[in-house]
């Protein structure tokens, strides 16, 4: 595991700014990330059938493989807004391009927040004016402007040789990404071409964000993009690949721990599955189960639920008599049967901020991990009045 | 829709009794349902890979197509209990057979409750003695003995010609049945053979219990059985089929409304899908979405979430510009875009005990319904300490 910087920094040539432009009452709601020079770039987007207008535009923009900047707003997601929504996403790209002195086809646009509400584009067009003069080097400043129900801004960085990789992300609810998570931007000064970035990003996302679930609901705005401006020159590809994956995994854990209402990070490991695909399905079924999530919340030693969650994956190969399970390293299931144990010991084992559930299936060599959180009353509070608050 | 009896009654020749035998502190925990004569019978069971011992035994028992009685306990599910669990399920069948003067292969056994705890079989063997003398004609008495987190006993009956059909069910959490729901017994005095019953039951279950979801978690104990003792003679098959489906749908609604912590019944109708299969997938995705369920709980007019839930069914055919949606008859989405509406109107439309979400996809002729409930703090309370309470 590479060492992340104690305080996240940007790679050479990247800066950001964020402002309140009136979408939220007072918190920051608009962020601009910019490189001094054009970047090779790749991105993955949600597979939801109702992608937001920024996704429709982003798929078009990323085809060129070149980006200079990202503009992203919170509070309103510009989803389910029809043709007018796409027109407003284009106006948002143009506003950022004008401010930065580049062209709109080099601007990636993201919007996150309530679905189905018109984007207040005039506030964004007016609000972005002057932001080029405020660009600065702290990635957390940019992270602030894209928060919705997140309880803290999320950024991370590490070094790969002379280069730096920096992640800025947001996400808390409506999270079971399918191709990418809510919003995550990866910036690097390593020199890599767009095709290489695309392949590296897809692999890293498959093992990290696509194994993340807060509530099983796939957002219409999921976007993960990587921008490489090359200012640090070449880096060893294997080292870059490992670092990219490590950072994506760590951001995945950070997003899971900050899931809406969450008090615990849930990590599920599955080994011995028939294939990686089946291991991923089973790991996510466990991480997604409301009964597992409430068990983790209450540190209730109701570990039979682990078998229930494995067993409901009816299209996977399971050998009940070969199935073992552990809670934070303490074995609770052997050969498909719950072991006799002291409830107090398992209760104590469960009562930690990070809960690891590990399963060995004894079927094949497939391994996977999934990342989630507990299910609490805080989730209900946040989502029974999200639109109205 | 046939008329259900104001107070549920049993068909001719069926009776039941229930007792507390010490599995729970004082509430009833053991039920015996018996026919005066042998019944043609069919049953469907959970497809979970970790079926409880009673399911393993039940699959063997139902092969004969003949049942005289059902014995069912609550509090302990006898799941994940290995060979010893199956031996105890057999002892439970034998205890009921001895009490009723029949053979163990005519007894269907069910257990529901905590997973992975040994079944206190001595309490059941001792407790069943004398129950034959307590058999009486009120199906709600039997329903009481199989309750877990249910807030009320569940039974229903209707007439088909000279015959009667009676449903007795339980279920509140760990509900996304796959072949049947938690526990539901259907009794009739109509004369039907086992093969016909099997076909009728599978069709009815597919359209009702298999479209029910409280939390997306498939129980290891799901069982739905039908027993026909023939005492009322032949009935028109079409009439029986329609009545069986109507009762299964109504029980499904009753189970959904009594979902753990639920305050509202959520009914989702999908029309215009590419196929019935896709309609069922989409209807269940909506009924299962935590963000839809919390929206319904809070009567929050965050109806863009309906599109999110449709859109996350990535393997289904969706035409965004042909997608419409209604909340309790009030149109909120047209052509994949949220309509401009007065929030207060939608909030009022949502604030009913029964919430109907209807979706028209404009793709094909597939139709389906799904049944669920809202997600509340009560669900968290019940499941963060289920084992311990």
pLDDT in tens, A196-210: 999 998 888 888 888
More confident residue, A141 or B242: A141
Res B174: pLDDT = 74
Q: How far apart are CA B368 and CA B365, in angstroms?
A: 10
Residue A223 near residue A111, CB atoms below 8 Å: no
| B115·A308 Cβ contact <8 A | yes
Q: Which of A218, A310, A386 sits opposite B50 (nearest CB)?
A: A310
- Alpha-carbon gap: A31 to the closest alpha carbon of chain B (Å): 24
pLDDT-based confidence at A47, cuts 50/70/90? confident
Quick check: A80 and B337 CB within 8 A?
Answer: yes
Question: What is the pLDDT at residue A379?
Answer: 87
Closest to A311 (Cβ–Cβ): which among B50, B300, B318? B50
Task: Give the minimum alpha-carbon distance from A86 to chain B in angstroms, rounded to a whole number.
Answer: 12
| Residue B206 clears pLDDT 60, i.e. is over it | yes
Is A179 a residue whose pLDDT tops 60? no
Q: Which residues of A touch B304 (CB under 8 A)?
A: 77, 79-80, 114-117
Q: With beta carbons less than 8 A apart as the criterion, state whether B260 and B349 touch.
A: no
- The angle that helices B276-288 and B304-311 make with each other, rounded to 10 degrees, is 130
pLDDT at res. B178? 64
Task: State mean pLDDT over A21-27.
Answer: 95
Q: Provide the token pair at A54.
A: 């920024």
Q: Residue A2 has what pLDDT?
A: 64
| ipTM of the complex in this document | 0.81
Beta-strand ranges (E) seen in B141-234 are 154-160, 163-170, 183-190, 223-233
- For the stretch B99-134, pLDDT in tens is 999 999 999 999 998 888 899 999 999 999 999 999
CA angle A143, A215, A380 (to 5 degrees): 90
Burial (0-12, 13-18, 19+ Cβ within 10 Å), B202: middle
Question: Which pLDDT does position A40 carry in this prediction?
Answer: 93
pLDDT in tens, B238-286: 889 988 888 888 888 888 888 888 999 999 999 999 999 999 999 999 9
Residue A229, pLDDT > 60, answer yes
E strand or H helix that includes residue A15: strand A14-19
> Which of the four pLDDT bands, split at 50, 70 and 90, describes residue B345?
confident
Residue A135 confidence (pLDDT) above 90: yes
Tell me the pLDDT of chain B averaged across its residues: 90
| Residue A319: band (very low, low, confident or very high) from pLDDT cuts 50, 70, 90 | very high
What is the number of other CB atoms lying within 10 angstroms of the CB of residue A75? 21
What integer pLDDT is reported at residue B2 of this predicted model? 64
Question: In terms of CA atoms, which chain B residue is nearest residue A173?
Answer: B291
| CA pair distance B203, A108, nearest whole angstrom | 50
Q: B52 forms bridges with which residues in the sheet?
A: none
Q: CA nearest A119: which of A23, A186, A24?
A: A23
User: Min CA distance, A74 vs chain B (Å)?
Assistant: 16
**Residue B387: closest CA among chain A residues belongs to which residue?**
A302
H/E run at residue A202: helix A194-207
* Cross-strand partners of B334: B337
Which of A93-102, A169-178, A313-322, A370-379 is most confident? A93-102
What is the average pLDDT across A290-296? Answer: 92
**Strand-pair partners of A14:** A35
B297 vs A380: CB contact, 8 Å cut-off?
yes
Mean predicted confidence (pLDDT) in A212-218:
80
Which pLDDT score is estimated for B49?
85
Residue A322 is given by DSSP the state G
The predicted pLDDT at position A49 comes to: 85
Q: Which of A31, A81, A164, A181 is catalytic?
A: A181
Q: Residues A74-109: pLDDT tens digits? A: 999 998 888 999 999 999 999 999 999 999 999 999
pLDDT at residue B389, as a whole number: 63
The mean pLDDT value for B190-216 works out to 87
Q: Which spans in chain B are helix H?
A: 53-62, 82-100, 121-127, 139-144, 194-207, 237-257, 276-288, 290-298, 304-311, 343-350, 377-383
**What is residue A14's DSSP assignment?**
E
Spell out which residues of chain A touch residue B114, defining contact as CB-CB under 8 Å: 302, 304
**pLDDT of A290 over the 60 cut:** yes
Check A304 against B386: CB less than 8 A apart.
no
Distance from the Cα of residue B63 to its chain's centroid: 22
pLDDT value, residue A41: 92
Is B181 noted as a catalytic residue in this protein? yes
Dihedral angle computed from the Cα positions of residues B260, B261, B264 and B269, in that order, rounded to the nearest 10 degrees: -40
Which domains occur in chain A, in start order? 14-257 (3.60.70.12), 265-373 (3.10.20.340)
CA distance, residue A22 to nearest chain B CA (Å): 21
């Amino acid at each position: 595991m590479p060492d992340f910087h104690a305080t996240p920094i940007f790679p050479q040539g990247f800066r950001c700014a964020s402002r309140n432009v009136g979408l939220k009452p007072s918190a920051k709601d608009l962020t601009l990330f910019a490189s001094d020079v054009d970047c090779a770039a790749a991105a993955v987007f949600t597979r939801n059938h109702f992608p937001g207008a920024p996704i429709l535009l982003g798929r078009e923009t990323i085809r060129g493989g070149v980006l200079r900047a990202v503009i992203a707003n919170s509070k309103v997601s510009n989803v389910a807004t029809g043709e007018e929504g796409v027109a407003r996403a284009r106006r948002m790209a143009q506003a950022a391009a004008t401010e930065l002195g580049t062209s709109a086809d080099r601007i990636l646009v993201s919007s996150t927040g309530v679905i189905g509400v018109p984007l207040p584009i005039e506030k964004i067009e007016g609000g972005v004016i002057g932001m080029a003069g405020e660009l600065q080097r702290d990635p957390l400043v940019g992270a602030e402007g894209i928060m919705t129900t997140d309880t803290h801004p999320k950024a991370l960085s590490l070094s790969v040789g002379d280069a730096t990789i920096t992640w800025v992300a947001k996400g808390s609810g409506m999270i079971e990404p399918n191709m990418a998570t809510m919003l995550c931007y990866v910036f690097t000064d390593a020199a890599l071409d767009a095709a290489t970035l695309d392949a590296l990003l897809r692999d890293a996302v498959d093992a990290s964000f696509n194994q993340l679930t807060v509530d099983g609901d796939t957002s219409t705005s999921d976007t993960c993009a990587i921008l490489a401006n090359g200012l640090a020159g070449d880096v060893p590809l294997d080292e870059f690949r490992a670092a990219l994956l490590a950072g994506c995994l760590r951001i995945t854990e950070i997003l899971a721990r900050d899931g809406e209402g969450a008090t615990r990070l849930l990590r599920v490991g599955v080994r011995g599955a028939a294939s990686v695909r089946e291991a991923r399905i089973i790991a996510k079924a466990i991480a997604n189960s409301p009964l597992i999530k409430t068990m983790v919340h209450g540190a209730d030693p109701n570990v039979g639920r682990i078998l229930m969650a494995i067993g409901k994956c009816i299209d996977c190969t399971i050998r009940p008599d070969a199935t073992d399970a552990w809670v934070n390293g303490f074995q609770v299931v052997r050969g498909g049967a719950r072991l006799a144990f002291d409830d107090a010991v398992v209760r104590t084992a469960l009562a930690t901020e990070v809960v690891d559930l590990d399963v060995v299936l004894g079927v094949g060599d497939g391994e996977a991990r999934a990342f989630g959180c507990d299910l609490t009353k805080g989730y209900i509070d946040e989502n029974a009045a999200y639109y109205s608050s």
